[in-house]
Amino acid sequence: MRPQFFTAIALSLLIATQAIPSHAQDSLRYYRLYLKDKGTPFRYLSPNDLLYPEAARHLTPRALQRRAKVLPPDRLVSTDDLPIYQPYLDAIAATGAEIAQKSRWLNTVMVRTDSATHITLLGLPFLDSIRTARTVTPAANPFGKTTAPAHGDEPHTETDNCIPDQYGLATTQNLVMGFDNAHRMGIAGEGVLIGVMDAGFDWRNHLALRGANVIGEYDFVYGDSTTYDLPGETNSEAHGTIVTSTIAGYLPGKFIGGAPRATFLLARTEDIRRERNIEEDHYVAGLEWLESQGVDITNASLGYTTFDASEQSHTYAELDGHTALASRGINKAATLGVLCINAAGNDGANGWRYVGVPAEADSAVAVAAVDSAGRIANFSSRGLRGRGLKPDVAAMGVKVFGAEASDTARITSSQGTSLASPLATAAAALILSARPDLKPWEVRQLLTATADHATTPDTAYGYGLINVGRALLKLSQTTAFVGFPKASVSGDRLTVIAWVSRPRTAGKVAAAETITLEATNVATGQQWSTSSTTPYSGVAQWTLDPVALANAQQGDSILLRFTIGGEELRRVALRVRSGESDPQSFLCEAITPSAVLITAAAPNPLRESTTISFSTESDGRVALRVFNALGQQVATLIDADLPAGWHTAIFNPAGLPVGAYHYFLIAGGKSSSEPLIYTR
């Protein structure tokens, strides 16, 4: 499997690590065995089925919860989840063949053996078919495994500022992808679990990745939990490090990735020493592991087209979306609720030319590469006409910055669909973070429908360059969401602010709805709530009853739950401390003691009417008036005593000439003014 960089890094694939005797090269080959069954016919398994415990043992509660988003309750687990039937494995091992890799879903076993044993394997009664997968030199691990390298200086972890102002070298790519729109709302991947498959990762050492929330890793090449370079290896971790950093990187002022608050699992499936068919088996094994751990999204900046001379290369005839092993793996993962994103490939200007395996899979989101102006890169692989639309979308893949594994502080640039794919993954993570209940195809549809070639898709761009800002705007037209909040404790008062977005009825101002904030002190079980009318799009604020926090102690965890009409929008746990709560939000608004919080009128410019929203922290007199460009008052919207909380007022300019206006609010001894534009 070749990393989808368009750089000299591909040369590292030719590096051999150990001389192998010629007789071993002649005698040992790899074979992929396709088994007939799991010792029982296929069926879905209910919890009272005798096989259910064995099938579900490796599945985390998070995996089952994600599956439940897309599958009926009685189809969450099947015999596909069972391990390979042990008597079959015993019979294979008894022939002397070495088992190199397995797939639960596809019921395959990759073995390495000689030609005589191959004849014996052909006689096994439980084989569905057997194919010569490759002829290769056996490559035993020549390196001793070591413990993880120690950290140097701790990474910079400042989180108190608006991160779009601290993108550093990532500024262009993040703005082109529209990540800043989500980050300013306090949405940075919170709650999303991303699985990355690559050739290795230096996430422990590089300053931009040390703070990444990596909760697990596994090496499917060597069969252990170490995914960084081993003694004697050269640059196996380079590709995965830069790829992962474009999503997870966080080094304020120098470099910030697209979804730095997401959670990550890392899988090493690529062996850079050779191009071998077994890497497809590693790929599928990696997918199975990531899915079982509950990932929402996978990224693979890898692709299969041609292999080493002794291997079996793919043909164009196989690019039908469901034949190649790795493509079948992606299709299976998708049925279980995983959004699988894959680099389209860098073959657009060479002999192969087309999107490779597994990006060509029916259920894969294949990502093409464009430059910062949205022009397709000449190296970006094209889709095969008549085989369904591929690639699916495009992302920036030219002069993209990320972490360089060879230097713990260096940020470097490169190009390739390898960089476009993780940027698309970050975009998907931001959408899912805004609304965690979205199904994979709903996230995909939001991205494709708002891409810049959405109405004219083709085999170069797919639906075109995706943009998170446009996708969130489309989401807000039908679905409410709440960004990651900020909370401040002062004395016994808890103040919470968060970006909220609520749908509006087309052409009209929808009836006011309240978003309820329910808070629970996890330590004491004490619970309280407050409801407030919030803006349709903007920053909302809630202040909880001072009595409620009387028993809260420093370090207590407060669970915040935001709901609208009984529907949960976001759930997050924050830890009480002096000042702002922890973890801190990236929301680009500060919690202030101001008596008035103004949000922009929406819509503005307006054609028929607009809604002006504001908040007061205390009861009192409020006046809201509208003036024209000459300073003449044209409307009084509010002149009354109002209780503390969120309030809205509707301004209808019927009968007034089009032009510039402004509204003026006085409350709590303070005033604020904002412009309005009336058009037709």
The pLDDT value recorded for residue 334 is 98
Average pLDDT over residues 516-534: 78
Last residue of a domain, one of 445, 475, 505: 475
Contact status, residue 532 vs residue 514, Cβ threshold 8 Å: yes
Calpha distance 362→334 (Å, rounded): 10
Calpha distance 611→504 (Å, rounded): 11
Q: What are phi and psi of 245, to 5 degrees?
A: -65, -30
Calpha distance 215→206 (Å, rounded): 17
Same domain, 233 and 148: yes
Can you read off the two tokens belonging to residue 230?
């081993």
Q: Is the pLDDT of residue 608 over 60?
A: yes
In a domain, 54, yes or no: no
Q: Is the pLDDT of residue 522 over 90?
A: no
In a domain, 71, yes or no: no
Higher pLDDT, 577 or 428: 428
Instruction: Name which of 564, 404, 350, 416 is nearest 476 in CA terms.
Output: 564
Same domain, 178 and 262: yes
Burial of 363 (0-12, 13-18, 19+ CB in 10 A): buried
In a domain, 126, yes or no: no
CATH number, position 613: 2.60.40.1930
Q: Is the pLDDT of residue 626 over 50?
A: yes
Point out the least confidently predicted range of 12-16, 227-231, 374-378, 529-533. 12-16
Length of the chain: 680
Block residue for tokens 């931001």: 430
Point out the least confidently predicted range of 31-45, 342-356, 555-569. 555-569
The pLDDT value recorded for residue 644 is 73
Calpha distance 619→24 (Å, rounded): 85
Contact status, residue 88 vs residue 39, Cβ threshold 8 Å: yes
Contact status, residue 298 vs residue 333, Cβ threshold 8 Å: yes
Look at the chain and report how many structural domains it folds into. 3
Beta-ladder partners of 661: 628, 676
**Which range of residues forms the domain containing residue 538?**
481-588
For residue 662, the one-letter residue type is H
In a domain, 59, yes or no: no
Same domain, 417 and 559: no
Same domain, 455 and 506: no
Can you read off the two tokens belonging to residue 346?
């860098």
**For 65-83, what is each residue's pLDDT tens digit?**
999 999 999 999 999 999 9
The pLDDT value recorded for residue 21 is 35
Calpha distance 565→249 (Å, rounded): 37
**For 433-476, what is each residue's pLDDT tens digit?**
999 999 999 999 999 999 999 999 999 999 999 999 999 999 99
Beta-ladder partners of 214: 264
Which sign, positive or negative, has the C-alpha torsion 547, 553, 555, 556? negative
Same domain, 420 and 385: yes
Instruction: Name which of 460, 306, 371, 379 is nearest 5 in CA terms.
Output: 379
Contact status, residue 646 vs residue 603, Cβ threshold 8 Å: no
Same domain, 429 and 571: no
Contact status, residue 135 vs residue 30, Cβ threshold 8 Å: yes
Instruction: Name which of 246, 268, 272, 242 is nearest 257 in CA terms.
Output: 246
For the sheet with 108-113, list strands across it: 98-103, 108-113, 29-35, 127-135
**For 114-163, what is each residue's pLDDT tens digit?**
988 988 998 899 998 766 554 433 333 322 333 333 333 444 444 456 89
**For 478-516, what is each residue's pLDDT tens digit?**
999 999 998 877 666 678 889 998 886 544 444 446 788
94 band by pLDDT with thresholds 50, 70 and 90: very high
Can you read off the two tokens belonging to residue 20?
């192998």
Contact status, residue 337 vs residue 67, Cβ threshold 8 Å: yes
The alpha carbon of 585 is separated from its chain's Cα centroid by a whole number of angstroms, namely 18
Beta-ladder partners of 141: none
Calpha distance 380→677 (Å, rounded): 44
| All residues at 6 or more sequence positions from 106 whose CB lies less than 8 Å from its CB, including other chains | 34, 284, 325, 328, 329, 332
Calpha distance 100→138 (Å, rounded): 11
In a domain, 130, yes or no: no
**For 562-605, what is each residue's pLDDT tens digit?**
998 888 999 998 886 666 667 788 888 877 654 555 566 778 88
Same domain, 337 and 366: yes
Mean pLDDT of the chain: 85
Contact status, residue 663 vs residue 651, Cβ threshold 8 Å: yes
For the sheet with 620-628, list strands across it: 633-642, 620-628, 659-667, 670-678
529 band by pLDDT with thresholds 50, 70 and 90: confident
Q: Is the pLDDT of residue 615 over 80?
A: no
Same domain, 294 and 376: yes
Calpha distance 170→158 (Å, rounded): 17
For residue 641, the one-letter residue type is D
Cβ count near 267 (within 10 Å): 30
Contact status, residue 449 vs residue 456, Cβ threshold 8 Å: no
Helix axes 417-434, 440-449, angle to 10 degrees: 110
Q: Is the pLDDT of residue 6 over 60?
A: no
Instruction: Name which of 364, 441, 336 is nearest 44 in CA terms.
Output: 336
The pLDDT value recorded for residue 112 is 93
In a domain, 79, yes or no: no
Q: Is the pLDDT of residue 216 over 90?
A: yes
The pLDDT value recorded for residue 539 is 84
Q: How many CA atoms lie less than 13 Å away from 540 in the CB half-sphere?
A: 29
| All residues at 6 or more sequence positions from 408 whose CB lies less than 8 Å from its CB, including other chains | 152, 205, 206, 207
| DSSP 8-class letter at 52 | H
| All residues at 6 or more sequence positions from 448 whose CB lies less than 8 Å from its CB, including other chains | 392, 393, 454, 462, 463, 466
Q: Whole-structure pTM over 0.75, yes or no?
A: yes
Higher pLDDT, 232 or 627: 627
In a domain, 421, yes or no: yes
Beta-ladder partners of 564: 515, 567
3-state secondary structure string across 284-303: HHHHHHHHHCCCCEEEECEE
Calpha distance 534→542 (Å, rounded): 9
Same domain, 345 and 259: yes
Block residue for tokens 């990320």: 402
Same domain, 353 and 435: yes
Average pLDDT over residues 222-243: 84
Which sign, positive or negative, has the C-alpha torsion 589, 675, 669, 546? negative
For residue 9, the one-letter residue type is I
Average pLDDT over residues 381-407: 94
Q: Is the pLDDT of residue 225 over 90?
A: no
Q: Is the pLDDT of residue 11 over 50?
A: no
Higher pLDDT, 21 or 500: 500
Q: How many CA atoms lie less than 13 Å away from 342 in the CB half-sphere?
A: 32
CATH number, position 577: 2.60.40.10
Last residue of a domain, one of 565, 588, 611: 588
Same domain, 242 and 335: yes
CATH number, position 425: 3.40.50.200
Instruction: Name which of 466, 1, 52, 491 is nearest 278 in CA terms.
Output: 1
Calpha distance 623→96 (Å, rounded): 87
Same domain, 350 and 204: yes
Can you read off the two tokens belonging to residue 358?
């597994």
Can you read off the two tokens belonging to residue 272?
């850079």
The pLDDT value recorded for residue 173 is 98
| DSSP 8-class letter at 148 | P
Calpha distance 606→624 (Å, rounded): 18
| DSSP 8-class letter at 247 | H
Burial of 193 (0-12, 13-18, 19+ CB in 10 A): buried
In a domain, 108, yes or no: no
Last residue of a domain, one of 440, 475, 510: 475
Helix axes 278-292, 325-335, angle to 10 degrees: 10
**For 34-64, what is each residue's pLDDT tens digit?**
999 999 999 999 999 999 999 999 999 999 9
Calpha distance 571→136 (Å, rounded): 51
Contact status, residue 218 vs residue 366, Cβ threshold 8 Å: no
